[in-house]
Chain A
Amino acid sequence: MQITDLVIIGAGPAGMAAAATAANVGLHVILLDEQPRPGGQIYRDVDRVAPVRGEMLGKDYTDGLSLTAGLDHGNITHISGAVVWAIEEGIRVLYTADGRGGAIEAKRILIATGALERPMPLPGWTLPGVMTAGAAQILLKQSGVLSKNAVLVGSGPLLYLIASQMIRAGTSPLALVETQTQADLLRALPHLGGALRGWRYLLKGLTMLSEIRRAGVRRYTSATNILIEGETAAEDIRFTADGKTRHIPCDTVLLHHGVVPNTQAARSIDVAHHWDARQHCFVPNLDDWGGTNVETVHIAGDGAGIGGAKVAALAGRLAALKMAADLGAISTIERDDTAKPIRRSIAQELAVRPFLDKAFPPAIEATKPVDATIICRCEEITAGDIRRHAGIGCAGPNQAKAFSRAGMGPCQGRYCGLTVSNLLAEANSATMDETGYYRIRPPLKPVTLGELAEMGGSVNSATN
Chain B
Amino acid sequence: MKTASSFLELEERRRLVPVWFEGGELQLPEGSNLAAAMLAAGVGTFRYTPVSGAPRAPFCMMGACFDCLVDVDGVTRQACMLEVTEGLRLSMPRKGRNVIDADN
Contact = CB atoms under 8 A, between A and B. Distances in A.
B101 to A, nearest CB: 6
Contacts of B69: 410
Contact of B52 (A148, A262, A380, A409): A380
Interface string A226-245: 00000011000000000000
Contacts of B58: 131, 135
B39 interface: yes
A150 B52 CA distance: 27
A311 B101 CA distance: 35
Contacts of B33: 142-143
A337 B58 CA distance: 46
Contacts of B100: 410, 446
Nearest to A251: B6
Interface stretch (A122-130, A297-305, A314-322): A122-130
A377 interface: yes
A128 B44 contact: yes
A95 interface: no
Interface string B31-54: 011001101100011100101101
B72 to A, nearest CB: 11
B23 to A, nearest CB: 20
Contacts of B103: 408
B3 to A, nearest CB: 9
A135 B67 CA distance: 12
Given A128-B45, A128-B55, A129-B57, A144 B65 contact: no
Given A34-B81, A126-B54, A128-B45, A409 B62 contact: no
Contact of B66 (A52, A138, A146, A378): A378
Contacts of A410: 66, 69, 100-102
Contacts of A233: 44-45, 55, 57
A165 to B, nearest CB: 12
Interface string A402-424: 00000011111011000000000
A252 B44 CA distance: 11
Contacts of B83: 36
Given A139-B36, A380-B51, A410-B102, A53 B60 contact: no
Contact of B62 (A134, A144, A171, A378): A134
Given A409-B101, A411-B64, A144 B12 contact: yes
Given A126-B56, A448-B75, A412 B104 contact: yes
B92 interface: no
Contacts of A262: 64
A381 to B, nearest CB: 9
A147 B66 contact: no
Interface string A103-147: 000000000000011000000001111111011001100111111
A440 interface: yes
A41 interface: yes
B10 A380 contact: no
Contacts of A450: 75
Contacts of B104: 408, 412, 439-443
Q: Which range contains the number of A residues in contact with the other chain?
A: 35 or more
Nearest to B37: A143
B7 A409 contact: no
Given A149-B6, A378-B66, A408 B59 contact: no
Contact of B59 (A132, A232, A409): A132
A414 B60 CA distance: 11
A142 B55 CA distance: 25
A227 B67 CA distance: 20
A144 B7 contact: no
A151 B100 CA distance: 32
B81 A145 contact: no
Contacts of A131: 58-61
A169 interface: yes
A36 B57 CA distance: 22
A414 B51 CA distance: 19
A379 interface: yes
A135 B61 CA distance: 5
B65 A377 contact: yes
B63 interface: yes
A408 B97 CA distance: 11
Contacts of A128: 44-46, 55-57
Contact of A171 (B8, B45, B60): B8
A230 B82 CA distance: 29
Contacts of B81: 34, 83
Contacts of A442: 104
B6 A145 contact: no
A408 B101 contact: yes
Shortest beta-carbon contacts, A-B, top 8: A128-B57, A144-B10, A143-B36, A135-B61, A410-B66, A441-B104, A251-B6, A138-B61
Given A83-B63, A409-B102, A414-B64, 11 more contacts: A128-B44, A128-B56, A129-B6, A130-B59, A135-B59, A143-B33, A148-B6, A377-B67, A411-B64, A415-B59, A415-B65
12 contacts: A41-B62, A83-B81, A126-B56, A145-B8, A145-B9, A146-B8, A146-B9, A149-B6, A233-B45, A251-B6, A377-B65, A410-B66
